[in-house]
């Protein structure tokens, strides 16, 4: 087990950084999706959805930084370009105008994708004995599953 981030082998650093850069990319795309929906939501559920979308994008903005800083802690390069993140992300941008229900569905899919990606990152970190990255990935995955639950709950009334 690696005691310090820099005790990781070069192969471990690369594998973990790749998984974390994937997580950063998907978080960044989802951050912008939530902010876009925050700006554009309309209808009877405007208030609670406007607030929920803001909660999501603020959480995700902080998460991007936490994930990127972990990449730097293991002495690797954190991808920082929008084009790189969009190209890497499994979360696809939601382009166009959507009603509230469609916004919820897009964000729900993004949250589930993020949870799955972070579950994978946690497994890679565990495989290489990087408990700190594993812990971060598990905590972030838990947050995305919580947001998915909140979004599903709104869809039940939509």
Q: Is residue 53 part of a domain?
A: yes
Residue 94 in any domain: the answer is: no
Instruction: Count the domains in the chain.
Output: 1
**Confidence check: pLDDT of 139 > 60:** yes
User: Is 93 part of a structural domain of the chain?
Assistant: no
| pLDDT tens sequence across 111-132 | 999 999 999 999 999 999 999 9
116 occurs within a structural domain: yes
pTM above 0.75, yes or no: yes
Q: Is the pLDDT of residue 3 over 80?
A: no
User: What CATH number is associated with residue 73?
Assistant: 1.20.1260.10
Quote the domain boundaries for residue 142.
5-88+99-155
Residue 61 within a domain: yes
Residue 151 phi, psi (nearest 5): -65, -45
The model's pLDDT over 4-50, given as tens digits with 9 standing for 90+, comes to 666 899 999 999 999 999 999 999 999 999 999 999 999 999 999 99
Decide if 15 contacts 124 (C-beta within 8 A).
yes
Residue 26 inside a domain? The answer is: yes
């Amino acid at each position: 087990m690696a005691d310090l981030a820099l005790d990781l082998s070069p192969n471990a650093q690369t594998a973990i950084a790749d998984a974390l850069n994937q997580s950063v990319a998907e978080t960044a795309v989802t951050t912008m999706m939530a902010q876009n929906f925050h700006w554009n939501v309309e209808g009877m559920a405007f208030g609670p959805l406007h607030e929920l979308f803001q909660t999501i994008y603020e959480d995700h903005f902080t998460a991007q930084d936490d994930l990127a800083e972990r990449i730097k802690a293991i002495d690797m390069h954190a991808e920082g370009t929008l084009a790189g993140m969009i190209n890497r992300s499994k979360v696809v941008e939601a382009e166009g105008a959507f009603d509230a229900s469609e916004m919820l569905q897009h964000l729900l899919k993004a949250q589930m994708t993020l949870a799955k990606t972070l579950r994978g990152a946690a497994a890679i970190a565990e495989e290489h004995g990087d408990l700190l990255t594993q812990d971060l990935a598990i905590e972030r995955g838990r947050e995305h599953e919580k947001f998915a639950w909140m979004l599903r709950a709104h869809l039940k009334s939509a």
